Structure 1
Amino acid sequence: MSDDDRAGEFGPIYLPALQRIRDLWLDLEPLVDETGYDDVVAPTELRISLSDGLADAESARLDIQWSELGMYSFHYVDSDDVNRRFDRHPNTHSPESHFHPPPAAATTDAEPSCIDVTEVSLVTRAVHAIWRAAYEDDDIEQLNSASNPP
């Protein structure tokens, strides 16, 4: 996600939240290949690699940001170059909590998010539950249709 997608303050990255998100994905998802940060000294993003993806994708990655202000981005991209994103941040194009649908997760295509919770563990569980349901049912239409997950 680019900074120009945000109209207001996102806030500094909150490393304890990224660590909690990493731990939850490792506990919840058997397809996690590896996790890491974009920068070892001053991380701004958690990266989670998956050994499979949605639809025909052979692999996928989640790029995750979480700020001290409780703003977040869970950006999914797969080996077929399909993108989707759950975000919470101030902007001019949609509600604060929103979803950017595939294939490009374009800023202009944002729609209200089905995720209403805001606590880091609950948001993480919601994103995971939505992803897992779409994966198991091979149905990407489920990605933003859950009723207040998790």
Structure 2
Amino acid sequence: MSENDRAGQFGPIYLPALQRIRDLWLELEPLVEDTSYDDVVAPTELQISLADALGDADAARLDIQWSELGMYSFHYVDSGDVNWRFDRHPNTHSPEVHFHPPPEAATTNVEASCIDVTEVSLVTRAVHTMWRAAYEDEDLDRLNTASSPP
């Protein structure tokens, strides 16, 4: 996610939240191939690599940020150039909690997110639940349609 996509304060990255998100994805998702941080000394992003992806793509990655203020970004990108994002951050173009739909996850194409929880484990479970439903049904429309996930 571009810093230009945000207006207002996102806050410093909260490493314990990224560690919890990593642990949950490892627990919940058998397709997790690898996890890493963008910087081992001062991480700002958790990267989760998946062994399979949505549709015809054969690999995917989630780039995740979580701040001390409870702001977040779960950005999915795959080998078929499909992108989508669940975000919570101040901005001028959408509600604070929003979804950037596939295939581009464009800043100008935003809808309200179906995620209405704010606790790190619950948000993580919600994103995973919707990703898994879209993966199993091979239907990108499943990504932001759950009622009060997780």
* Shorter-chain TM band: over 0.9
CA distance in 2, matches of 1:111, 1:8: 19
Offset of residue 68 of structure 1: 0.1
Question: What is the alpha-carbon distance in structure 2 between the residues aligned to residue 133 and residue 26 of structure 1?
Answer: 17
Q: Within 5 Å, which residues of 2 pair with 1:129-140?
A: 129-140=129-140
Partner of 1:49: 49
Instruction: Say whether 1:63 aligns with 2:63.
Output: yes
Distance in 2, matches of 1:57 and 1:146, equals 23
- 2:142 is aligned to 142
Find the counterpart in structure 2 of residue 13 from structure 1: 13
Structure 2 stretches lacking a partner, 5+ long: none
Cα deviation, 1:79-106, whole Å, max 9, x if unaligned, reads 0111000000000110000000111101
**3-state secondary structure, aligned to 1:108:** coil
Q: Distance in 2 between matches of 1:137 and 1:54?
A: 9
Determine the C-alpha separation between the residues in 2 that align with 1:53 and 1:99: 19
TM-score, length basis structure 1? 0.99
SS at match of 1:109: coil
Question: Matched residue pairs, number?
Answer: 150
Separation in structure 1 between the aligned mates of residue 82 and residue 140 of structure 2, nearest angstrom: 11
Q: Which runs of 5+ in 1 are unaligned?
A: none
Q: Distance in 1 between matches of 2:43 and 2:7?
A: 22
Local SS of the residue matching 1:81: coil
Runs of 4+ with >4 A deviation: none
Q: Secondary structure at the match of 2:74?
A: strand
Q: Report the AA paired with residue 117 of structure 1.
A: V
Measured on the aligned residues, the alpha-carbon RMSD in Å equals: 0.4
Give the share of equivalent positions with the same residue, in percent: 81
Q: Residue 86 of structure 2 corresponds to which residue in structure 1?
A: 86
State the match for 2:116 in structure 1: 116
2:141 and 2:125 map into 1 onto residues whose CA distance is 19
**Which residue type is aligned with residue 135 of structure 2?**
Y
Aligned mates of 2:48, 2:21 — CA distance in 1: 10
TM superposition shift of 1:51: 0.3
